Every structure is written in C-alpha cells, then in structure tokens.
Amino acid sequence: MFRPLGTQRFNPPTSEFSPGPAPFLEWIETSKLMVDVTYQREIGRRGAVNVNQIAENFDWSKFAPVIVAPVEGGHFAIVDGQHRTTAAMLRGQEKVPCQVVQADRAKQAAAYAAVNGNITKTTAQQLYHAKLAAKDPNALALAEICLAAEVEILRKNLIRSEVKKGQTYAVTALNRCLAKYGRDTLITALQCITQTADGNAGFVRSTIVEALCEVLHEAPRWREAGEELLRAMDKFKFADAWDQVAAGRDKIFPSTASKMMAEKIQRFLSRRLGAGSIKDAA
C-alpha cells in the first residue's frame, strides 16, 4: 500500500527562501574526490570500523549519493560521504554517484556541520572546527577568546601526557561559560590556567574552567584585578587541588567536581587577595 506525500499537517515556512543553485547528480571518479581537512574529520578507529562494515555489505541500494562541491583543479570536495566513498574504493569502485552543489568553502563547512551535527560519531570539537570554517558567529567569538587566552581546541583525542599547554577538548563547556558568564570572565578564567605557573598543561578542563568562571563572576573585584589575580593564581596548584577533589572516589559527577574546585579556588583567593565580594566579606 502506498500513499502520496502531503503538506497539509505542516505549517508553511516563514523564513526567507533562498536555496541557492540547484544541485545535479553525476557519477564522479573517486580519484577526483578530495577531503578538506579545514573542516572534515579524519577517519578514526570507530570510523574505520564503519568503513569496513559498509565495504563488507556493499550494495548500491544502500549507497546514498555523496554530497560534493567543485574545487580548483577539476576536483570535488566531499561535504558528506567520506566513509561510504572509502568503502566503495575498497570494493574497487572507480566512480560513485554524487550530488554536486555549488558552494564555497564556508558553505561547504556549514553544510557539513548541518548534516553531521546530530550524529554521535562527530565530536563537539570536530563540529566546532567545521562551524569555524563556516564563519559561524558563535564559533568565531569562541576562537577570538581562545586566541586571547592562549587556548587551542583540539581536533582529535590525545593521551593525557601528550596534551600541551592550553590544549583542550572542553569546547562544550567553553560555549556554556561564554553564554552564562560572558567573554571577559571566560578569558580571565582561562588565563588563570594558561598564563600561570608552567601553563598547567592538561588542566583546561570543563570542571576547572566552570569553577573559575563561577568564582570570578561572583567576585568581580578579583576578576578585574588583572596581573594581581594572575600572580596569586601562579601559586595555586591545580594538580594538587584536583587530586584532593578526586581522592578516594572511583567516580565523581562533573557538577560536584566543579563545585568542590570552586570552593578551593574561592578560599585560596580570599587568603591571597582578600574579600572579592559581599559574600566573601560576610
């Protein structure tokens, strides 16, 4: 039994309609397909499993057209379909069906982010870099904050010993803190980590950043102390404080860890800088 499509149950769109040039379908040689590393993720371990599964069960009836955009040199950048194209190549296929869209790099990255935004295999960091390439205003604002605070949002996972000063995965927490506390508080909080002691490699963590933002938000005098604040935080031992928070616990909720860290930072700064708020003075 079949039924026709209908729109009766849906509200008509109210946004401006500007879909851009109509795409067209074409079989394209895989040798002409490229990956723009500016916004595309690498095929990691889980992705490799996915590629192998597609290749093992390869069937054109399950193969959605690859979304591509023309780039220089007669090549095409893959917007969506890197995994299934790689699987087709493993099966010896020299051409794949493609939906060709007319889009510059920013639009390609925006399309990638839109297509992959609700897929769990795309991490928050990967999505951030895609949105940054697409010149998303929120991503650009966060990038400016990271530049000011000497922070780098990593694209892929590293073992903890390889994480360098300022490197972090905590893009979700950074965005949350930016929305809740604002640009200046977030920059100062990050600088309390990256511009003190030896740079505190590995400690630009969500719980620590959120704890610092909470403390500085509640104590504007400390937030505005500038170099005096950084000199004080130069003596704060993030590693020791974290060990104390985690001591004797197999598991700790992030909200609990952040609260405990905030209390340690608040007590430390009260001793070093005096009362930072009415609450501290009470």
Rounded distance between C-alpha atoms, residue 185 and residue 212, angstroms: 9
HSE value, Cβ hemisphere, 13 Å, CA-based, for 173 = 20
Q: What pLDDT shows up at residue 89?
A: 96
Q: What pLDDT shows up at residue 3?
A: 82
- The letter for the amino acid at 241 is A
Mean pLDDT across 9-25: 87
Q: Is the pLDDT of residue 275 over 90?
A: no
pLDDT tens-digit profile of 52-106? Answer: 999 999 999 989 999 999 998 999 999 999 999 999 999 999 999 999 999 888 8
> 């069960």: which residue's tokens?
57
pLDDT-based confidence at 44, cuts 50/70/90? confident
Pairing of strands 95-100, 66-71: parallel
pLDDT cut 90: percent of the chain above it: 61
pLDDT-based confidence at 117, cuts 50/70/90? low
Q: What pLDDT shows up at residue 38?
A: 80
Burial 237-263 (b: 16+ CB within 10 A, else e): ebeebbeebeeeeeeeeeeebbebbbe
Average pLDDT, the chain: 89
- Sketch out the chain's domains with CATH numbers: 24-119 (3.90.1530.10), 136-281 (no CATH)
Mean pLDDT across 8-13: 86
pLDDT-based confidence at 42, cuts 50/70/90? confident
Q: What is the 8-class DSSP label of residue 36? A: -
Q: What pLDDT shows up at residue 120?
A: 43
Mean pLDDT across 4-31: 89
pLDDT-based confidence at 255, cuts 50/70/90? confident
Residue 28 tokens read as 């394209």
Q: What pLDDT shows up at residue 1?
A: 76
Rounded distance between C-alpha atoms, residue 240 and residue 238, angstroms: 6
Burial level of 205, CB count in 10 A (0-12/13-18/19+)?
buried
pLDDT-based confidence at 110, cuts 50/70/90? confident
HSE value, Cβ hemisphere, 13 Å, CA-based, for 5 = 1
pLDDT tens-digit profile of 146-182? Answer: 999 999 999 877 777 889 999 999 999 999 999 999 9
Where is average pLDDT lowest: 78-82, 84-88, 108-112, 254-258? Answer: 108-112
Contacts of 153 (CB under 8 A, 6+ apart): 125, 128, 129, 142, 146, 168, 169, 171, 174
* Helical packing angle, 183-194 and 171-181, nearest 10°: 130
Apex CA 276: angle with CA 271 and CA 282, to 5°? 85
Mean pLDDT across 127-151: 92
Contacts of 217 (CB under 8 A, 6+ apart): 181, 185, 223
| pTM recorded for the entire structure | 0.64
pLDDT tens-digit profile of 203-224? Answer: 999 999 999 999 999 999 999 9
